[in-house]
Amino acid sequence: MVNRVIEYNQEMTVLLKELADNVTEEKKQQIDDLTRRAVDGASEAASSLRKHDPPGLQGRDGEDKVSADIGSSEELDIVDEDLLRDEDSRAAGFVGKSSELQWLRRLRQDVEHHEAVPSRGSGPYGPPGADTEASSRRLEALRQRQRSDSNTHVPLSSSTFYLDDQGVGVDYAVHPFELPPMDVAQNLIEGYMDTVQDSFPILSRSRFMATFHEVYASMEHGAPHLVPDKWLAVLNLVFAIGAQYSHLVEESWHLHGFDHISCVSRAHILGLSTPDLISHQDLMQVQITALLALYFLITGRVNRAWVVIGISVRYAHALGLHVRNEDRSTTISQKENLVRIWWALYTLEGTLSTIVGRPSSAIEDSCSAPLPLPVAVERMSDDTLISQIYAQYQGWTIHQAPTVATPEPSNAGSYLKCRAQVGAITQQAVADLYSARAIEMSWKKMQQKISGLRDQLERWLASLPSGFDFTQPKAHATFQHERLVLNMQYIETKILITRPCLCRLDDRIKNQTEASDRFNKDTAKICVRAAEAMADLLPANIDVPYLYRTGPWWSLVHNLMQALTVLLLEASFGMVHVSCSDDEILSRIKILVRWLSAMKVNNGMADRGYSLASEILRKLAPRINANASHLLGEDINHTGDPAAYYTEAQTSFGGHHREHPFLADFNLQSGAASNQPTALGGPQADYMSMFTYPVASTCYEEILPGCAGGSETDHLNAFQNGPQLGDPIMAQYEELSSFFPAGDTARTSPS
């Protein structure tokens, strides 16, 4: 009965607030006074209810009495908007609380509410437990918070910087068998192989390149070379990814009409029709769908990318790539190649699941495939060497914690292994801290999960081969690209692990212990420091093409926006979690915003991300006594030199940002068809219906534990020279005879 009275009280309060705009000033003041007293009374009543704990909670500390939804993620087990209401909401789809898109959405709601502390902070919150009573009390508490929340509801679709709402732009009028000139084709393939292949070894470089040269040699001599449609689909997807990369890095050579849209259109016609999707799976179909997912990722269609990589993983499951291969007729080299394909899918699917905050379909508990062997690509054909290494490492699986007992060489195989291992930690963090069942835990249990995940992440860091150890001051120049990718992945995972504590927990947990309060504040500080570390990785002068060439260009906007959102959240809290001056937070915000500004010229995701950040900063600036125009760089005399923006960002807040050898090397090195019409109502149109939607200086001892032995500059001295990418990873293609399964017709390459 008391709960019902509280609900009536809150409903009446909301109604009075709505009526206040239509009465005289005197009556409005009376309504304000009345509603203030009513809210206070409701809070006291709710508090009195919380004092009557169930028998199982009596005598326990405050952090042990409340569920984990008291953290920053709050309601983990609900969807709070109609995702079927319109085209935009369907395009964005469901996004989980581990995604920075949800953090941005919540931040936008809070900055609309012109109070220093977000209105939802004080609760009430329900108890932990999986029983019906605990679940009912949590749901009741949630509804009370929703009724008392005065913030304007912000649709998720208005807080995304991805481009799913723009469609995929497939042109079915292209000639499916038309190929670019040899020089253009080589440039497109090099853009793919030099930047993507090692991180996502979906293809066999040696076999793929051999077939590629055979096809073009036959064209040159006018002799037909038979290749299947699926291989041509793979080729065009590689072209499409390479074309998008060349667009981002502003390559000077001409595409001759083979832009990413025309290339992916050919791939759709050749290998992604409805019959292809429902035919029996083969290895090439795994590769086609994985490449399509990667293409959707780099062009900002993350909702589609997540769906398509799920199809690819299902194909891989159907082929048994996720379990150990003990077939005696398969050589160890072939097994290793198949293993690398699986871990390529695993890392790509994990990347996308993290971005959209959805469950992973590549579940580790169902996987027994061994981790990649620490073997360089050029040694993959050495069966004797492979056999020796296989005997040593064959028992290593993703379930085993990284170890420093046996140092490994730095090569393509060990790099993929490092990415898979940190990816597993990331996925465990998403499952443990952000899943729907996480709210059944107490906040104390959540703290224990966070602590355990942090320990796992630091053990992974300590186990890195020397060539990939981004904490070392004299790191080898050969693996600069790999170190930066791993460094950003490490920071991203640290932010995910610590993010639940980045809120005003001191206002939410009654009677918590001093140890709990200290853990919350220390963990929130680590989250902010990690975001600062991401900003500190950026080169000292803005050269966007160089950063694309050196870093994880397929997810750079995600990495920068995740860090920026954390810093904006901390600013909205009044910068209460860090001991440094406000200027250190603001200067990192300024750096990240200006990099987005530089990237937005030819990157739609960066353009939208910059617009969202601008909107938030303009509303947040008065609360933090900051100049929004200054943070956004609108007060700078535009000289045409992008480096000026970053240099000014460094110096305007005290010049805290330090030089980085990675950045110094950057300074030295930077400089800078006939068409065949196709019917639109055929299988391709059926396929497309699946993917369209109808109408301070950073304390690095905190970020990198164990690094305290060197100087402050040494800890950042991870990148010595310009990028010299490591060896590409091979992945086994089927023999050419397997290109012609029943029902598949070989094609003649264009002459």
pLDDT tens track for 34-47: 766 665 555 555 55
- Say if 3 falls within a structural domain: yes
Confidence of residue 205 (pLDDT cuts 50, 70, 90): confident
- Give the pLDDT score at 96: 92
* Top-confidence residue, 45 or 372: 372
Domain extent, residue 3, equals 1-52
Q: Which of 59-68, 81-90, 346-355, 432-441 has the lowest mean pLDDT?
A: 59-68
| For residue 224, pLDDT beyond 80 | no
Evaluate if residue 325 carries a pLDDT over 50. yes
Mean pLDDT of 344-371: 92
In a domain, 10, yes or no: yes
In a domain, 31, yes or no: yes
Q: Which residue blocks in 435-479 are alpha helix, DSSP H?
A: 443-462
Whether residue 44 lies inside any domain: the answer is yes
Q: Has residue 176 got a pLDDT over 60?
A: yes
Rounded mean pLDDT of 16-27? 67
Say which range, 236-240, 524-528, 727-731, has the weakest mean pLDDT.
Answer: 727-731
What confidence tier does 578 reach under pLDDT thresholds 50, 70, 90?
Answer: confident
Res 547 pLDDT > 90: yes
187 — pLDDT class (breaks 50, 70, 90): very high
Question: Which residue(s) pair with 110 in the sheet?
Answer: none
Give the pLDDT score at 402: 65
Which residues partner with 226 through β-bridges?
748
The answer to whether residue 41 sits within a structural domain is yes
Cis amide linkage into residue 661, ω under 30° from 0: no
In whole angstroms, what is the distance from residue 96 CA to residue 106 CA? 12
Whether residue 107 is predicted with pLDDT greater than 60 in this model: the reply is yes
- Rounded to whole angstroms, what are the CA distances from 715 to 70, 281, 581, 664, 698? 35, 48, 22, 15, 11
Candidate from 105-109, 546-550, 746-750 with smallest mean pLDDT: 746-750
pLDDT band of 543, cuts 50, 70, 90: very high
Q: For 747, phi and psi rounded to 5 degrees?
A: -110, 155
Query: What's the whole-model pTM score?
Result: 0.78
The domain total for the chain is 1
**Is residue 673's pLDDT more than 50?**
no
Percent of the chain at pLDDT above 90? 43
pLDDT value at residue 172: 86
User: What DSSP state is assigned to residue 67?
Assistant: B
Task: Return the pLDDT at 213.
Answer: 95
State the CB neighbour count (10 A cutoff) for residue 455: 12
For residue 179, give both structure tokens: 């190929």
pLDDT, mean over the chain: 77
Q: Is residue 171 part of a domain?
A: no
Taking a C-beta distance cutoff of 8 angstroms, is the pair 347, 367 a contact? Answer: no
Overall average pLDDT of the 453-481 stretch: 90
Residue 569 in any domain: the answer is no
Q: How much of the chain, in percent, has pLDDT values that exceed 70?
A: 68
Show the tokens assigned to 398.
């993703």
Q: 543 has which bridge partners?
A: none
d(CA 216, CA 230): 17
